[in-house]
Amino acid sequence: MAKRNTFDLVSDDSDHRFIQIAGNCFRDTKSSIYKRIMKEWKILEKNLPDSIYVHAYERRIDLLRAVIIGAAGTPYHDGLFFFDIQFPSDYPNNPPKIHYHSFGFRLNPNLYTNGVVCLSLLNTWSGKKCEKWDPSSSTILQVLVSIQALVLNEKPLFNEPGYRVLKRSIFETKSRAYNEEAFILTCYSAVNIIRKPLKNFDEFVKEHFRERGHVLLAACNEYANGRVRVGYYGYNSNEIASRSSTVVIKVSDSFRESLKNAYRNLYKQFLECGAELENFVEELEVEVGKKKKRSNGVNDSILKKAMGKIKQALGLKKKKKEKKNST
């Protein structure tokens, strides 16, 4: 696969979240805000990691669109996460406005279905002074890297303040259950992103899943069979190989069923992207002969809620039949 440019300039801004906000104040090439935005462009062009891609717009320099690839070792691995960005008219005195494209899924405590991103650096969450937006030093690059590292992290449940008060070990079981839900929702987000790609990223999306789709399918298989903890497929292959023959991770029935459904949807969409899936079958295969283990109930309840959200977002949730009037 040819190396992509992490920063690029495009023309079609018609589906941008902030397109309706007037951008006339950014046209003066001698203004301080114009010069500051050009500085941001240069920083992005030179310093973006290979896992973050940004598009700027020819006619609206105040707008950006970014996609972050979920990192290995997290329940978001190999997923795509899109953000629309707008520089306010008083930038950099105030931080940029950011909208997360959720596709109807709440897969992280800091990322809301309505697009709100909670982050101290954006002044949308409380934090120490050093964590807040600083007009003299903060940048868009810093925001994007913070979202990738601090929000889309290994154990996102602990982003919630309530779970940071006591020792983390107390909530490890709930954290693992949350990771299961986050992975499932990441899979369905991928399905929706392929079905309805954002403008200027349609080829990027297809190319990404042609290249990485097999990893998500293989991860579904490993997680369903209890060989790898959710989020860690391919993260440390040596460690996994050393323990896979002796350790079987408990997998709840509801999570296994969720994985089967997610796998089925992913397989279909990856084929449409042109992915080579000769080593995979249409339905997720779960090894027989292993004694099924029931979960402690936490995983089951969370996954049931997650599947309800998925069906609702995909338009599959049926309305309850109205009760007939008694005669």
Of 118, 130, 220, 273, the active-site residue reads 118
| Interatomic CA distance for residues 124 and 47, integer angstroms | 25
DSSP code of residue 97? E
| Interatomic CA distance for residues 89 and 62, integer angstroms | 9
| Interatomic CA distance for residues 240 and 72, integer angstroms | 14
The answer to whether residue 25 is catalytic is no
292-296 LR contacts (CB < 8 Å, sep 24+): 292/253, 293/250, 293/251, 294/252, 294/253, 295/250, 295/251, 295/252, 295/253, 295/254, 295/255, 296/173
DSSP code of residue 327? -
Determine the residue type at 38.
Answer: M
Q: Which helix (H) or strand (E) holds 82?
A: strand 80-86
Q: How far does the chain reach from its first CA to its final CA, in angstroms?
A: 68
Q: What is the Rg, in whole angstroms, of the alpha carbon atoms belonging to the chain?
A: 21
C-beta separation of 89 from 153 below 8 A = no
Residues identified as active-site: 118
